[in-house]
Amino acid sequence: MQPGNAGANKRRYMPGLDGLRAIAVLAVIFYHMNLGAVPGGFLGVGVFFVLSGYLITDLLASEWRQQGRIDLKSFWIRRFRRLLPALAAFLMTVTAWTLFMNTSQLLTLLGNVLSAALYINNWWLIFHQVSYFDSFGPPSPVGHLWSLAVEEQFYVLWPFLMLLGFRYVKRRGRLFGLILAGEAASAVAMAVLYVPGSDPSRVYYGTDTRAFGLLIGAALAIVWPSAKLTEASESRSRRTIDLIGGAGLLTILVMIWRVSEFDAFLYPGGFVLLSIAAAAAVAALAHPASRLGLLLSWKPLRWLGTRSYGLYLWHYFVICITNPVIHTGGINPALIVIQFILSIGFAELSWRLVENPFRSGKARQMWTNILKRTILSHQANHRRASHRWRAVAWTMPLLIIMILIAVNRDLIIHVSSATSITDSDTVQIPGASTEGVSRPSGPEYQQQPDIGRVDTDGNEGSSRKEVTDKTEVPIPVDNSSEPEAMEKPDSSELPGNAEKPSSITAIGDSVLLGAASELEELLPGIIVDAKIGRQLSQAAEAAAELKAKGKLGSRVIIELGTNGLFTKKQLRALLESLQDAHQIILVNTRVPRKWEQAVNDTLKQVAADYANAVVVDWYKASMGHDSYFQKDGVHLKPKGAKAYAALIASAVGPITE
């Protein structure tokens, strides 16, 4: 995530690598902005790992060849000088922002900040079981720093191992083989520890399971040292280099465009494929004869690449503080542009005021010059003023944020109202009755969401009936959020409901739990079995228990997907277990998390294969209705619960059996 450091030895500048950095950091930024065009944007981190492994090993190998030794102290000083000042400025700014603007998250943030400062954030997240993919509640503005921890751990350990390798393994081919063996062990660890259908955050965060990317880059540096690459190459060699590099770059771009975090193939081998593709691109871009290198040396790309570390640090914080707490209106292009401009602005300030001055060792001189041009001419005590302005310099990002606050007061409202309401917390759900509702107690409140993977066993089919807000029973649109202000629909208007009301059963999670009393009003006698944190994988068991008790009706409502993705195979198994039901009503989801679209697509595609299944489109019906939702953007206010219940009730078909 940062430019290579020439270190003690002057090395050839490889501008094409800055272009590759720009592509990688842009992919990560657009992924965090939730742009659907780059579902695999998170793979940019894997590209950075390969780049870091190559550049660091190339630096160490060059120093060994030239001097016959590796100056570990000098290496680490250069690394810390390059990384720590910018990180410190960022963490101080985030902490100050949270202290003044979002104190509810301060205690949680402090653990993240301390672990990030010590470069152990990835293991802190693993230990506390913090998911990268299915975290609920407001996102942490430092949640992306896990990758910096992986890289810094590599920087600490790898020079030792390379020193031993250069000293005791004389043949370059053997050293290359040993590094590849380490890479294979890491890749196998990821494949073995990954459990399909479960949250993959352990293998995603782990240094042991992500080291293969760094090691693939390191192995490349052993057999492809930049110092020995010259422009004197035959035309055929150039074509081969460009062909290999182009294939690698194309693979990276296609994976960013087509692969999502829910593709199961990533963990048994997909990440390794990405790393090999990145190594192929790096090999071509490092060669001075490469025409691909000239293409990626385009000045705007190089400019972004040199500031990729600052962009990576600041972009997620900008996104977190500018995103509205509740937003049901889809993508906001104006907001995305503003976020991108602010991210670049912070990155440029970081580069000019912190990163470049500290890396070059000119930080003290630069701040002294600034001091002389501003304050020293008006102060009698120059030394005292110097100390004062050093403190000001370190807090400049905070001052910029405060200016932004003054300009946009709505931002204050959005940020200060953010709270962490999760399915694993004790959620106050308005209007939920106790009769006929299965409520969690004790350890179930701590149930962790179980996220599934997308499989490819389903075929596209014509969409069956999708119920939206344009059905026969209108969704209440009264502006009041009080339950009594809403006119109750006459249950006689609902088709067939009064005939055999006890033949309707609803199975769901906390969203359904929040609308239980409204459903009971509209569908008298309905059996509602809803539990906080429930996954679709648990629905078949719940249905079997209800059937054994004689409480499984001929109309079954399934509302699941709030807490994570499920596979088409899992959904089909559930529908097959309910094959005797006359109607199965699948309610899709609105949840501001990555799996939202995948859940809704899976429901739509699988329901098309079952004649007794219908999809209720809550996502479409709730679009533009921010007032329906609690502060987490998922759980319902009284107004939203009534609209939700009316939409579901309108889908229940006539009961004639």
Q: For the segment 598-607, what is each residue's pLDDT rounded down to a tens digit?
A: 899 999 999 9
Query: How many residues comprise the chain?
Result: 657
> What are 334-349's pLDDT values in tens digits?
999 999 999 999 999 9
pLDDT of 398 above 60: no
Distance (Å, whole) CA 599 – CA 645: 20
Give the ranges where 194-307 is alpha helix by DSSP (H): 201-205, 207-223, 235-258, 270-286, 291-295, 299-306
Domain boundaries, the chain: 15-357, 442-651
Residue 391: the pLDDT is 53
231 and 289 in contact (C-beta within 8 Å)?
Answer: yes
Q: What is the DSSP letter of 139?
A: P
User: How far is C-alpha 485 from the geometric centre of its chain's CA atoms?
Assistant: 40
Which phi and psi (to 5°) does residue 466 adopt?
-120, 120
Both tokens of 484, joined, read: 């009594």
Q: What is the DSSP letter of 530?
A: E
Q: Which of 133-147, 532-546, 614-628 has the lowest mean pLDDT?
A: 133-147
Both tokens of 418, joined, read: 């953010």
* Active site residues per annotation: 510, 632, 635
* Residue corresponding to tokens 């393994």: 169
User: How far is C-alpha 446 from the geometric centre of its chain's CA atoms?
Assistant: 22
Class of domain 442-651: alpha beta
- The residue-averaged pLDDT of 498-510 equals 74
Enumerate the β-bridge partners of residue 437. Answer: 528
> What are 437-469's pLDDT values in tens digits?
433 333 333 333 333 333 333 333 333 344 443
Enumerate the β-bridge partners of residue 528. Answer: 437, 506
266 and 201 in contact (C-beta within 8 Å)?
Answer: no
What percent of the chain shows pLDDT beyond 90?
A: 55
Computed over every residue of the chain, the mean pLDDT equals 80
627 and 329 in contact (C-beta within 8 Å)?
Answer: no
Tell me the DSSP string of 440-465: --GGGGGPPP----B-S---------
- The residue-averaged pLDDT of 241-252 equals 96
- The residue-averaged pLDDT of 347-358 equals 91
pLDDT of 480 above 70: no
Tell me which residue of 328, 304, 319 sits closest to 31, measured CA to CA: 319
Q: Which of 206-210, 286-290, 432-436 has the lowest mean pLDDT?
A: 432-436
CA geometry: angle 537, 542, 546, nearest 5 deg: 155
Question: Other C-beta atoms within 10 Å of 234: how many?
Answer: 9
> What are 295-332's pLDDT values in tens digits?
999 999 999 999 999 999 999 999 999 988 777 767 78
What percent of the chain shows pLDDT beyond 70?
A: 74
Single pTM value for the model: 0.75
Burial (CB < 10 A; 0-12, 13-18, 19+), residue 144, is buried
Residue 130: the pLDDT is 80
Specify the pairing of strand 583-587 against strand 555-559.
Answer: parallel
> What are 172-222's pLDDT values in tens digits?
899 999 999 999 999 999 999 998 767 788 999 999 999 999 999 999 999
pLDDT of 399 above 90: no
* Residue 384's pLDDT band (cuts 50, 70, 90): low
Residue 462: the pLDDT is 37
pLDDT of 406 above 60: no
Residue 307: the pLDDT is 95
